[in-house]
Amino acid sequence: MTRALADLADGDLAALALAGRQEAYRLLLERHRAQVFRIARHQCGDEDAALEVTQQAFVAAFAALARYDRARPFAHWLARIAINKSHDWSRRRKVRQWLGLPLPAHAADHWADDAPLADDDLADKQELSRAMAAIADLPERLKDVLVLRAIEGLSQAEVAALLGISAKAVETRLYRAREKLREALRD
């Protein structure tokens, strides 16, 4: 029976999940968790936060499954939820910083280290962390387009539809996001 379920489209699995089939929930989670995690990681710039955001995105999606429009791709609907949950996480982080509350112990893990590097592998990891932090620091409207278009590989039309903006706005925001990243990574 699991094999037959695995062959179903996302919309059909969503309908089965709403009907109480736990296996359908599991299959939707397995199909989409890597994409949701990648979106969250690039939005937050932190793997631990990305795990938290991924979990929140799936909880929210499954709670709102009755509102899913089967005419739209499930992956796009879920990506929008992941982006929204990432924005929520970012706002909570900014409030903590503004109030002077301590951040979780892992919050500074992605910041660049000024210590001399021992080997190329460590340098590569540091550069990746620096790039992820720079992406996470982009304004949300630029970061959303960059993550979906350049990192997740969605088409310009798909990104426009998902974010509710024009294709030209996607192009412009992607250009601006790349320029800001060049500036941030130039130093």
What are the tens digits of pLDDT across the range 105-124?
555 554 444 444 455 566 66
Which domains occur in the chain, in start order? 1-104 (1.10.1740.10), 112-187 (1.10.10.10)
- Do residues 148 and 162 make contact, with C-beta atoms less than 8 angstroms apart? yes
Q: State both tokens at 94.
A: 């900014």
- pTM of this prediction? 0.64
What are the tens digits of pLDDT across the range 52-107?
999 999 999 999 999 999 999 999 999 999 999 999 888 887 766 655 555 555 55
Nearest to 68 by CA among 6, 9, 130: 9
Please tell me the distance from the alpha carbon of residue 111 to that of residue 122, in angstroms, as a whole number: 14
